[in-house]
Amino acid sequence: MTTTLPIAVPGDQADRLSVLFDTHYDRLYRLARRLAPTADDALDLVQEAFLKAARSPRAVPVGLPGEEAWLVRVLINIRRDQWRKAAVRRRHDQTIGHPSGVDSGQEAALIARATIWRALDLLRPRRRAILVMHELEGLTIPAIASLLGISAVTVRWHLSMGRRDLARALKLPVGESR
């Protein structure tokens, strides 16, 4: 008889999920919020990512870096699937079209921010995630490459294209930011 596969260790999956959630929730929410149109959408994204981990516990690598990379990739993939459906964008459009309870100055600022955030929706989620991780989270290109399991060259390319697409969408002079 051959014994080629390692033993599977179910252990207490609920305990592991608790630890996984407590360890990665904040980081995952921050990314989700920067990928999603609204805070509610971001919470849904985070929940979906953890539910996937709960249903496929053996797919989640052991160890902090592996767990984080797995969760981040799952979250981006979920967002990609949502992005492909127009419903999410329509809901977002309705939301930003009806700011209420703010004075004119606040409203102008809110609309300006919403316009920028809506422009980000034009980017494919992976490109958007790369832009967000680099520009807002301050991750280096090699760190993003490692997290997403892609080459540094690909990350650099997505960054360049993302900045260009965003500048065009906002009708800004096209320029490179560092």
Name the site residues for another protein (rule: CB under 8 A).
1-14, 16-18, 21-22, 25, 29-30, 33-34, 39, 43, 46-47, 50-51, 53-55, 57, 62, 112-113, 116-117, 120, 131-132, 135-136, 163, 166-167, 170, 172-178
**How far apart are CB 174 and another protein at their closest, in Å?**
7
CA 113 to chain centre: 18
Interatomic CA distance for residues 8 and 45, integer angstroms = 29
- Which pair of structure tokens corresponds to residue 32? 């989700």
Whether the Cβ atoms of residue 148 and residue 155 lie closer than 8 Å to each other: yes
Whether the Cβ atoms of residue 19 and residue 52 lie closer than 8 Å to each other: no
**How far apart are CB 150 and another protein at their closest, in Å?**
21
Nearest residue (CB) to another protein, 54 versus 152? 54
**How far apart are CB 178 and another protein at their closest, in Å?**
7
